[in-house]
A and B are shown apart, each in its own frame.
Chain A
Amino acid sequence: MQFAKLIARNALRHKLRTGLTVLGLLIALLSFGLLQTVVGAWYAGANAAAPDRLVTRNAISLVFPMPPHYREKIRAVEGVKSVGAANWFGGIYQDPKKFFPQFAIDAAPYFAMYPEYRLDESDKRAFLRDRAGAVVGRKLADTYGFRVGDTLPLRGTIFPGDWTFTVRAIYDGAETRTDTSQMFFHWDYLNETMKRRVPRRANQVGVFVVQIADPARSAEVSQAIDAQFRNSLAETLTETEKAFQLGFVAMTEAIVVGIRVVSFVVIFIILAVMANTMAMTARERLPEYATLKALGFAPGYVAALVFGESLAIAAVGAALGIGLTFPVAAWFGTQTGTLFPALEVSPATVAMQLGCALAVGIAAAVLPGRRAARVRIVEGLRAIG
C-alpha cells in the first residue's frame, strides 16, 4: 500500500510531464489500434468465407469469362450441392469515388448459399419477380440513403451503357463482420441486355460459386470440376472461397506489409518519448534514491519504484488509448462509408495494444531503473540538481 502510494505521488509530482507522456501514449496506442483494425478489414472477405463454398474461375485470370453452360456441368459433378453464376459489374454510381461492389448473380441459388445475407421474405420475393430489381446491403443503403423502391442508376465500365435498377430489398448481415456494402442484381438481366447491346459480349460468366455437401472433400471436388474442362477453350481453376479471397489480399500484400510496419513505428516513437521521461525523472531524483538506500531500502526496492512509475503511466495511457479505439474506429467506419466492409476492433488488436503498452512501460524503465539501483549513496547525496 505504501509502495503504491509512493508511486502515485511520484508520478503526479510533475503533472505536466506525466500528463504529456500519457497523452503521447494515448495517441500512439490509438493509432496503432486503428491501423491494425484497418489491416484486419483487408482480411474481412477471407474471414467471412464459408468452408463449404468453392469459387470456379477461368484459369487464365479473372478477366476471362466462362460460358454459362458450365453451370450444368459443374452441378453434375459429384459432391456439388448448388451452383450460382456471379459477374463483377464494376459500374459507377454518380462519381467514381462512390465505389461499392456490384455483382450480377443467379439470385435464387446465390442467396441460398449465403445464409449470412438476411433478407425479408416478402422483399426477397419482390426482388425475384423484378428482372431489373436489385438488393443492397444495409451499410450501402445507409451510406447513400437507398430505400426499397428507389431507382439506382449505374454507368457501366466493363458492360457499356447506362443501367437502371430498382432497389427491391435490403439485406442485413448475420454477424457484424458480414459485408453489407454490396449490391446484387439478376445475372439474366445483365445477359439479356448485353445480347441486345453487344451480342459478342453476352453469355459470359465471371465466376461460379459452388456449394459442396462435405467441406472435407473440397480439394477433391475442386479437382473434379477442373478436370471437366481440361483442354477446353476456357479451362477453369477452382479453389475454396477463402483461398480465392486471400488471393486478392496477396496481390496488395506490399500495402498490407507497409501499414503493419508503420503501425509499429509509432510504438517506437512513443517508446523514445517514454524512455526520455523516465530517464529525466530518474536523473532528477538520484539524491532521493540515495537517501532511500541510506535509510536501508534495498536496490531492488528503488528499481521497483522506477519500474512501478513507468508501468503506472503506461497503464493509464493504455486504458485511455484502448478505450478510445472503439468509438474512433466506429466513427472512422461511418466516415469512410463502403470503403472498408467491416471495421471491427478485434480482441487480438486489444491484446497487441496491451502488449505494446507493457513492453513500452518496461523498456522505458530499464536504464533509469538500473541507474537508480546502482547509485552510490555518497555520490547520490553529493549530486545536486
Chain B
Amino acid sequence: MKAIPLAYSLRNLWTRKLTTALTAGGMALVVFVLAAVLMLDAGLRRALVATGQPDNILVTRRSAGTEVQSGIERAQAALVEAQPEIAGRSKETVVLIAQPKRGGGAVSNVTVRGLSHEGVALRPQVRLSAGRMFRPGSTEVVAGRSIAERFAGTGLGERLRFGGRDWLVVGLFDAGGSGFDSEIWGDVDQMMQSFRRQAYSSVLARLADPAAFEALKLRLEADPRLTLDVKRERQFYEEQSAALSNFIRILGLTLSVIFSLGATIGAMITMYAAVANRTSEIGALRALGFRRGAILAAFLAEALFLAVLGWVLGLALASLMQLVHISTMNWQSFSELAFSFDLTPKIVLQSLAFALVMGLAGGVLPALQAARLKIVDALRAA
C-alpha cells in the first residue's frame, strides 16, 4: 500500500498557522502542568532520598514518626550505642524554631539539630561552603544553604535567638540538595541545656556491615528496656516525604488528566475542520489510488505532529522551572523543606507519551471520518 508522504501532513499544519499554534499551545500548557508536577515530585524524592546514607540507621521512639516527636532517654541511648554492629554514632536532639523569613513577614518552622562532630562525619554529603564548623561546647551554629538564603538571622556572621540564648552563625554548609540543606546545626550538649531537655530525640549510627541491619533491628526492637523503632536512614526519610509526595502527585495527575480533556477537544475541533475543509482533496487523493488506510494514517500523523509540537513547547517551558526552588512546610515533619524541580529522562518520555495520547484521542475520530468518505461524494463536495 502506498503511503501519503509525511510532508503532506506537515504542510497542512504550516498553511493554517494560527489554528496550529492555538491547538498546539493548548496541548503545550497541559504538557507543562504534567511535566512540572512530575518534576516537583522527582525533586522532592531526590531531596529526601539523598538525605539518607545506605549504611546508616536511625533510632527513634516507637511510632514517633518524626525526629521532633521522638524522645530517647539517656540510658536507652547508651544501650543502643553499645551494640557491637555499630561503627559510628551520634546522639542528637532535634527541635523546631519559628523563624521569620527574610524580607519581613511570614514565619515558618526551621529544624534545628544538635549533634556532635562525629554526627557531622556520618553525613558525608554535607560540605562546608563558607566559614567553619561549630566548635564543640560553644553557642556556635552552622546553617544549611537553603535556610541561609531564606530566613532572617541565619546568614554567615549573623546571630539568631532561640532557647533564651544568642547563637552565632559561623559557617554555611551545602548538603547537595538533601533535606539537611533546610536545617541549622549546633552542639548537642549546648542545645539540650538551652531547651532543658533530658532526653535525646534520635540516635544515628553507622553499621560496620550493612547486612547486619535485620539482626540488629530485631534485637533492639525486642528489648523490653527499649521502646524504639530502628530504620534505615534512607527509608526513614522516604517515609517523611510520603504524604507531601502523594499529595503533589495525585493532585497533579488528576489536574493533568482533566486539563488534557480540554486540549484533546481542541485537537478534535481542529482535525474535524481540517477534514471538512479538505473533503475534495481527500476525494482526489482516493481517486489517485491512495487507500483508506493511507488517508487515515495521514490525518493521524497530522494530529500526532500537533501533539509533538505541543510537547516540545510544553517541555521547553517546564525545563525553565528547573531554575525555580520551592520551599514549603512538610506536613509530616511540620518543618520547612526546600527542593527544586528535577527534570529526569523518565519525565521527558512520560510527557511525550501523554502528549501523543492526547493527539491520538483528538485525531482518531476525524481521521476515521476522512477515511470513510466515498470517492464520488468527496469529489462532488468541491
Contacts and interface: CB of A to CB of B under 8 A. Distances in A.
Interface of A: 16-17, 20-21, 23-24, 27-28, 31, 35, 59-64, 90, 92, 96, 155-158, 160, 198, 200-201, 233, 235, 237, 247, 250-255, 258-259, 262, 265-266, 268-270, 272-273, 275-277, 279-280, 284, 367, 385
Nearest to B265: A24
A160 B259 CA distance: 45
A251 B258 contact: no
Interface string B224-253: 000100000000000000000001000100
B64 A157 contact: yes
Nearest to A90: B69
Contacts of A28: 262
A198 B268 CA distance: 66
Contacts of A252: 328-329, 331
Interface stretch (B93-101, B118-126, B371-379): B93-101
A17 B258 contact: no
A250 B63 contact: no
Contacts of B261: 24, 27
30 contacts: A17-B272, A17-B273, A24-B262, A27-B258, A27-B265, A31-B255, A61-B96, A61-B98, A63-B68, A63-B334, A96-B65, A157-B63, A158-B69, A160-B62, A201-B71, A233-B196, A251-B109, A251-B336, A255-B247, A262-B255, A266-B258, A269-B263, A272-B22, A272-B26, A272-B266, A273-B265, A273-B269, A276-B269, A276-B270, A367-B18
A31 B61 CA distance: 43
A269 B262 contact: yes
B259 A253 contact: no
A265 B328 contact: no
Given A20-B265, A156-B63, A272 B25 contact: yes
B109 A269 contact: no
B98 A62 contact: yes
Contact of A60 (B29, B163, B336): B163
B158 to A, nearest CB: 18
A254 B328 contact: yes
Nearest to B25: A272
A278 B52 CA distance: 55
B199 A233 contact: no
Given A20-B269, A63-B96, A251-B328, A280 B29 contact: no
A265 B198 CA distance: 52
B139 to A, nearest CB: 15
Interface in B271-325: 272-273, 277
Contacts, number: 148
B326 interface: yes
Nearest to A92: B63
B262 A273 contact: yes
Contacts of B109: 61-63, 251
A262 to B, nearest CB: 6
A31 B19 contact: no
A200 B198 contact: yes
Contacts of B327: 254
Interface string B64-93: 110011010000000000000000000000
Nearest to A250: B106
A230 to B, nearest CB: 11
Contacts of B18: 276, 279, 367
Given A233-B196, A252-B328, A270 B262 contact: yes
Contact of A265 (B162, B247, B259, B336): B259
Contact of A276 (B19, B97, B162, B334): B19
B3 to A, nearest CB: 26
Most B Cβ at <10 Å: residue of A247, A254, A268: A254
B23 interface: yes
Contacts of A279: 18-19, 22
A31 B255 CA distance: 8
B33 A265 contact: yes
B108 interface: yes
A39 B97 CA distance: 27
A21 B265 contact: yes
B309 to A, nearest CB: 13
B23 A254 contact: no
B262 A160 contact: no
Contacts of A20: 265, 268-269
Contacts of B173: none
A31 B254 CA distance: 10
